[in-house]
Amino acid sequence: MTPRHIKILNWRDFRAYLMACTIALSVSTIATQNAAAEKIISLVDDATLQENGRLVVKEMLDIDTSGASRKGIVRVIPSVIEEKGIAHRFDVKVHSVTDEHGRKLQYSAKQHGDAVTVHVGTARGVDVQKFVINYEVRGVCNFGKQHPQLYFPFTGNNWPFTIEKAEVILRTPRKATVVESELKAWEGPPGSEKPANVKLMGDHILATASQLPPGSGLTLEVDFPGGTVNGAGFLDSVDWLANDWYLLVFLPLGAVAVLAGYRLMKSRRAPKVVEVAQSWKPPSGLTPVELGTLIDGSCDVQDLTGILLDLSVRGYYTIREIPATGFFNLSDRDYEFKRQYAPGKDVLRDYETIFLEALFGNSGTSYLSNVQGVFRQFVPKIKDSIYANLVSNGFLMKNPEKDRKRFYAIAVSLCCVGIALLFLYGDEVQAKAAGLGFIIAGALTAVALQFFPLLTDKGKVTIEGAHEFAELMRTAETHDITERIKEDDFLFHRLLAYAMVLGVSEKWAGACEQHMTMWPDWFQFHQSTQQAGPFVARDFARDVWIATRVAGLTFFAPPPIQYSSYAVGKKGRPEQEHDRPIS
């Protein structure tokens, strides 16, 4: 009986098995023939060793692919060589790859471990192709023996096919006297001691080898007299790095130059510069919000609350502090606004008209708590109008907020380009330099606004006047302002909004304290507070400052949770039940 674990093939199975073996053998034979047909017909290295220790190589390759479906060749140039257990490192830089006619070919050169890998595409349908690889090696000489020694595998040892003919032509520095007995050449795999042909040919050294099998190469060893070849110095190292990393410097500098040129082209001089004197008047007739915006180039919360005080002082409405039902914006105070008849000779600016519309709408009375979520919708229009007013009057070149957005968009774009280069081509030195250069250029673009302000000459002079004006109010106690207040008994209130914008309100109130005794009509406190004692300028300024901070939080706050943005924007909030004592 036939054992169960033994299977007898019938004729059909045997025929299929025989056909499979035949196909496999045919494929193997074709592959072997193609592999055997691929070879390097000729590899010639024309190299020049310079006095600074750089080795400049022009490598000419004739490769026979014999119709093989190879997409490209890979040339591995070592950057580390071990000789007798001692590792010697140097830098390799590939400059170009061309054909025999000097036409540039596409290639990639990347540092992989201890070697630089050069990948060059091959043309289809061409059996014999010629390439010229130009590269440079820095620090190729070893000074471990107290004199320069060149030990370098010129042909490389990583070719997957036979090299029929290998030739190295080495041109030495003029002052280097080389003795032929000091010349050595080796052929074979790394570490091979099989000698190759080498001889001195007048002004150059010639080393040759033939029929080198895959994985073998031609290595040349030359000892030079001391002082004939130098190592890499500091300037040489800087020059080497600059050739690879120049984009890291040029791209940021170029970005700064472009930004400076752009600002220079866009700048314009104001036709008239206003001189500012110590006249207790705001510089150039600017409102508090315009002055605060001009100083820092941004219309922020503190500047907008300057409009709130300034319009009230000018008589457009009164402000009254009242108790709030609960803690409103972290305060137990709310504020009531009542419209007044517009002053006859006073003219509203566009942003002031928008401000009044945001505060009152169509009513004559408004409460700060009721504009929460509504007012913030008008803030962009108010800011744009303020910027437009400063531009049209010659203080700014253009809208700084739009300019900031434009610069930030450019900065983000540059950084994205840099990150993409690092991500896609991070192995290539110049791509890495360009990527980092773009990122630095983006960062410089983002912060460039601080160094390239949009001020015109008129704006610069006005800011100087604003600082003098702030210093005047800060040191007002040292001046005799009695006569000034007698001439203008509303001086303290008229300049209070400016003092708050400039950050000198406490000093200003202290200087005017002994001259001010009457409570104002434009800002009123809760009845019990106002009747508690005489008017004290410092306390008044402090309470007004609190009011501006609460108002600033409200102007930019979203609607309360119980009201949607849509409902508040369309209908406003229902009025709270306020305690309104009769004053």
Higher pLDDT, residue 84 or 48: 48
Q: Is 507 within the bounds of a domain?
A: yes
Mean pLDDT over 470-478 rounds to 81
Q: Is 8 within the bounds of a domain?
A: no
Domain count, the chain: 3
For residue 136, which of 236, 79, 54 has the smallest C-alpha distance?
Answer: 54
Q: Which helix (H) or strand (E) holds 92?
A: strand 91-98
Average pLDDT, the chain: 80
Percent of the chain with pLDDT over 90: 25
Q: Among 49-53, 124-128, 307-311, which stretch is predicted with the lowest mean pLDDT?
A: 124-128
Q: Is 530 within the bounds of a domain?
A: yes
Please tell me whether residues 251 and 288 are part of one structural domain. Answer: no
Over the Cα atoms of the chain, what is R_g? 42
Mean pLDDT over 419-435 rounds to 80
Q: Is 548 within the bounds of a domain?
A: yes
Mean pLDDT over 54-77 rounds to 84
Please tell me whether residues 415 and 312 are part of one structural domain. Answer: no
Residue 337, pLDDT > 80, answer yes
**Quick one: pLDDT band at residue 30, thresholds 50, 70, 90?**
very low
Please tell me whether residues 293 and 309 are part of one structural domain. Answer: yes
Percent of the chain with pLDDT over 70: 79
For residue 60, which of 116, 135, 123 has the smallest C-alpha distance?
Answer: 135
Q: Among 245-254, 323-332, 417-426, 515-524, which stretch is predicted with the lowest mean pLDDT?
A: 323-332
Please tell me whether residues 214 and 101 are part of one structural domain. Answer: yes
- Full domain range(s) for residue 163: 37-232
Q: Is 31 within the bounds of a domain?
A: no
Domain boundary among 413, 438, 453: 453
Mean pLDDT over 534-557 rounds to 88
For 371-423, the pLDDT digits (tens) are 988 999 999 999 999 999 999 998 998 888 888 888 889 899 999 998 988 88
SS3 of 256-271: the string is HHHHHHHHHHHCCCCC
pLDDT of residue 575: 45
Q: Tell me if 158 sits within 8 A of 215, measured CB to CB.
A: yes
Please tell me whether residues 378 and 490 are part of one structural domain. Answer: yes
* Amino acid letter, residue 271: P
SS3 553: helix
Domain boundary among 435, 453, 471: 453
Please tell me whether residues 439 and 460 are part of one structural domain. Answer: no
pLDDT of residue 241: 65
For 138-182, the pLDDT digits (tens) are 888 887 777 888 899 999 988 888 999 999 999 988 777 787 777
Q: Is 2 within the bounds of a domain?
A: no
CATH number at residue 124: 2.60.40
Please tell me whether residues 67 and 151 are part of one structural domain. Answer: yes
Residue 452, pLDDT > 70, answer yes
Cα angle 543, 548, 549; round to 5: 95
Please tell me whether residues 136 and 254 are part of one structural domain. Answer: no
Q: Is 219 within the bounds of a domain?
A: yes
pTM of the model: 0.61
Please tell me whether residues 75 and 174 are part of one structural domain. Answer: yes
How far is residue 554's CA from residue 373's CA, in Å, rounded to a whole number? Answer: 8
Q: Which helix (H) or strand (E) holds 498?
A: helix 491-502
For 179-207, the pLDDT digits (tens) are 777 789 999 998 888 999 999 888 889 99
Please tell me whether residues 307 and 248 are part of one structural domain. Answer: no
Please tell me whether residues 262 and 223 are part of one structural domain. Answer: no
Please tell me whether residues 138 and 104 are part of one structural domain. Answer: yes
The dihedrals phi and psi of 209, each to the nearest 5 degrees, come to -155, 160
Q: Is 24 within the bounds of a domain?
A: no
pLDDT of residue 195: 92
How far is residue 275's CA from residue 396's CA, in Å, rounded to a whole number? Answer: 17
Q: Tell me if 164 sits within 8 A of 38, measured CB to CB.
A: no
CA distances from 471 to 88, 279, 474, 475 (A): 68, 13, 5, 6
The side-by-side arrangement of strands in the sheet containing 217-223 is 141-142, 149-153, 217-223, 183-188
pLDDT of residue 179: 79
Residue 572, pLDDT > 50, answer no
pLDDT of residue 527: 59
Residue 93 pairs in a beta bridge with 136
pLDDT of residue 489: 82
SS3 50: coil
For residue 45, which of 173, 184, 205 has the smallest C-alpha distance?
Answer: 205
